[in-house]
Structure 1
Amino acid sequence: MECTVGTGDRPAIMVTNDDGIDAPGLLALVRVLVSANRFVVRVCAPDSEKSAVSHSITWISAISVKRADINGATAFAVSGTPADCTSLGISGSLFPSMPDLVISGINKGRNCGYHIVYSGTVAGAREAFLQGLPSLSLSYDWVGGTSNIDDFTLAAEACLPIINAILAEIKNKSYPQKCFLNVDLPTNVANHKGYKLTRQGKSIGKMGWQQVTSDAQGGQMLSTMTMETNSLTSTEMDASTVPPQNLLFKREVIGAIVDDDDNTDYRSLREGYITVTPLGVLSHAEIDCQAYFKELLPGVTECFSSSAL
């Protein structure tokens, strides 16, 4: 397999994300792609942060599109979601042709385990996959106080080999069409241990709700985490004690559930690998759940038939 793509007929890459078109991760990725001088680089990304919107799309309202100034790339800022941006960017309405590859990222924060469900970054790549185009989502495991902006450039450079390899396979018409890739880069990306094929695990951030007095109160939450519906403590209020005015709540991190199985994305990322996880769209239930409902459903039908008499 060739590891480089010829520069005579340069492949087109379209970049999107969920952190917004001005996010350092996207800008670093575009700079690296442009500097490689091997690709036609296009950008179609949200005009503001759209983290944790998952695969939502704009259906009723119109979305606005404005040209954006990104050196070396043709770029548009869109008022919609990441899935909107991908859909519009590959529709032929903004760019003269379909891209050869869609890349979503680089996200500020990992997207592993069940967090993938909430991720707008992953949705940007998934939308391209739904439309039959090769795609991958890229996320950097940003840790406050440890990571810095330059790490996004290192992450983008570390992804060039797999981007080149994918494009070579696309050119050879040998790239698989039944999956897209989710790639996570470790915090210490400068000393990563190389690429590792992984599978989606079950890790998830446990979240709660904190009552606040203003929208500015409380910290910003990771975009791909979810809440934990645990019981309320001393601040618990039932319907009879809730004051008549509007209440404000913000999410807060209260813990995590970590999947420590071998070869899962989260564990391998924490070990320092660049994790490469093939994903599809359909989520199948565990086999034992299939067996359970196979036994349950006949009885449900019988009970309903008897009660109808």
Structure 2
Amino acid sequence: MASKNNGLNAALVSNLQDVLSKRRGGNEEVVGSDGSAEEAPSTSDSVDVTAAEEEIDESKPIVLVTNGDGIDSPGLVSLVEALVREGLYNVHVCAPQTDKSASAHSTTPGETIAASSVNIKGATAFEVAGTPVDCISLGLSGALFAWSKPILVISGINQGSSCGHQMFYSGAVAGAREALISGVPSLSISLNWKKEESQASDFKDAVGVCLALINATIRDIEKGVFPKDCSLNIEIPTSPSSNKGFKVTKQSTWRQSPSWQAVSANRHPGAGNFMSNQQSLGAQLAQLGRDASAAGAARRFTTQKKSIVEIESVGVAGKTDTRVKKYFRLEFVAKEQEHTDEDLDIKALEDGFVSVTPLSLLPKLDTETQAAASEWISKALNADQ
């Protein structure tokens, strides 16, 4: 049966096909000039992850690395390069494709996410179109890597402190927590980045500070003496090379202040990127039509306190449904707080110490686990001096 002509301009169809074929994330179905479905070529860095097999030196333990800032962040790159240079581990990376630093413990169930291979010398690496928790869940599932379980998961090095209640927002800490939920020991590492003081080279110094603790962790996991049922959150001061030493701390209640700002925005931002959310050219053009109709339905804008208030009047069965739409942006702002308890993570960090806080899946770390973790940290650090 002959396909119907869809009536579209051939040049327009050709241009749209070209755009779609260059999208990342695997094969895409597009519509040909005659309306038939065609398969767009896959990109060179997207692979069938179910068939991704890598050679593993079974004499070396496997370390899985993720973070919250994205796979290209200098903190992760510096950490992975240092682990590879050690020559002691099989280093694997499964990290977000983009910045997910404040994604907390969010996941993307029911959605298809792409995992694309990335060239990091000496490591097996994938970037994932998901959150840090997605990355660890996928990495430990057996669907992405050939091995079943790493000896340790490291999440970091995060750009910015994850002390106190800030841990609940942190994607880096959430990645380590997901590993702990799955029964794998984990570390989360953050650098107390300050915009006016810090620079990219500080991440290399931060790696140098915590590498001995990472090695001690892996060594004692192999011996069976690393504390069970807890993860370690490591906070490195703004000037890593001039730190005053390690200090075992407790989680504080500190956090940065959330600041919501009213902002202006395009009337219908979805119309500009509708193509990225559809599977075929036909669906994309249909979405464009819906966006155009929605734009026509919008009746007026009212500016209040630097925000754009959008009033939509939509007629349904003879009734008018008026909806108000406003646009806001969230930013976290550091604020000065006085801390008197010397054992709190934020106090130790501000005083120039490397803060090491044992974390548990329980609402409150029990005394026995806290004592065992503190004793292990002290012994591990003394053994490497």
- On whether the aligned pair clears a TM of 0.5, the verdict is yes
Partner amino acid, structure 2, of 1:246: K
Specify whether residues 36 and 141 from structure 1 end up closer, same or farther in structure 2 by C-alpha distance, changes over 3 A only.
same
1:205 partnered with 2:256: yes
Note the 1:1-309 alignment, pairs <5 A: 9-97=59-147, 98-214=149-265, 235=305, 244=311, 246-252=325-331, 253=333, 255=335, 257-284=337-364
Q: Secondary structure of the residue that 1:187 maps to in structure 2?
A: coil
* Higher mean displacement: 39-48 or 201-210: 201-210
Partner amino acid, structure 2, of 1:65: A
TM-score (norm 1): 0.78
Q: Secondary structure of the residue that 1:90 maps to in structure 2?
A: helix
Specify whether residues 64 and 117 from structure 1 end up closer, same or farther in structure 2 by C-alpha distance, changes over 3 A only.
same
User: Once the two structures are superposed, what CA deviation does each residue of 1:261-300 show, in whole Å capped at 9, x if it has no partner?
Assistant: 2210001001111110000123259xxxxxxxxxxxxxxx
User: Once the two structures are superposed, what CA deviation does each residue of 1:125-182 show, in whole Å capped at 9, x if it has no partner?
Assistant: 0000001111000000111121111110111111111111111111111112210010
- Partner residue in 2 for 1:218: none
How many residue pairs get matched? 258
Greater percentage in helix: 2
Q: Secondary structure of the residue that 2:141 maps to in structure 1?
A: coil
CA distance in 2, matches of 1:66, 1:22: 13
Specify whether residues 36 and 254 from structure 1 end up closer, same or farther in structure 2 by C-alpha distance, changes over 3 A only.
closer
- Check whether the contact 1:26–1:106 (CA below 8 A) recurs between aligned residues: yes
Deviation at 1:258, TM superposition (A): 5.0
- Check whether the contact 2:263–2:306 (CA below 8 A) recurs between aligned residues: no
Specify whether residues 44 and 279 from structure 1 end up closer, same or farther in structure 2 by C-alpha distance, changes over 3 A only.
same
- Check whether the contact 1:57–1:84 (CA below 8 A) recurs between aligned residues: yes
Partner amino acid, structure 1, of 2:81: R
Which blocks of at least 5 consecutive residues in structure 2 are unaligned? Answer: 1-56, 267-303, 312-323, 366-385
Deviation at 1:94, TM superposition (A): 2.0
Between 1 and 2, higher relative CO (CA 8 Å, sep ≥ 6) is seen in: 1
Specify whether residues 236 and 42 from structure 1 end up closer, same or farther in structure 2 by C-alpha distance, changes over 3 A only.
closer
Partner amino acid, structure 1, of 2:259: G
Partner amino acid, structure 2, of 1:34: V
- Check whether the contact 2:163–2:254 (CA below 8 A) recurs between aligned residues: yes
CA distance in 2, matches of 1:14, 1:110: 22
CA distance in 1, matches of 2:345, 2:81: 27
Partner amino acid, structure 2, of 1:249: F
- Check whether the contact 1:186–1:274 (CA below 8 A) recurs between aligned residues: yes
CA distance in 1, matches of 2:174, 2:123: 22
Which blocks of at least 5 consecutive residues in structure 1 are unaligned? Answer: 1-6, 216-233, 286-309
Q: Secondary structure of the residue that 1:204 maps to in structure 2?
A: coil
Deviation at 1:193, TM superposition (A): 1.1
CA distance in 2, matches of 1:195, 1:254: 24
CA distance in 2, matches of 1:254, 1:15: 28
Specify whether residues 32 and 256 from structure 1 end up closer, same or farther in structure 2 by C-alpha distance, changes over 3 A only.
same
User: Once the two structures are superposed, what CA deviation does each residue of 1:233-286 show, in whole Å capped at 9, x if it has no partner?
Assistant: x9599xxxx66263221234384555432210001001111110000123259x
- Partner residue in 2 for 1:230: none
- Check whether the contact 2:164–2:251 (CA below 8 A) recurs between aligned residues: yes
- Check whether the contact 1:104–1:138 (CA below 8 A) recurs between aligned residues: yes
* Structure exhibiting the larger radius of gyration computed from Cα positions: 2
Specify whether residues 214 and 32 from structure 1 end up closer, same or farther in structure 2 by C-alpha distance, changes over 3 A only.
same
Identity %: 43
- Check whether the contact 1:207–1:255 (CA below 8 A) recurs between aligned residues: no
Q: Secondary structure of the residue that 1:171 maps to in structure 2?
A: helix
CA distance in 2, matches of 1:254, 1:104: 23
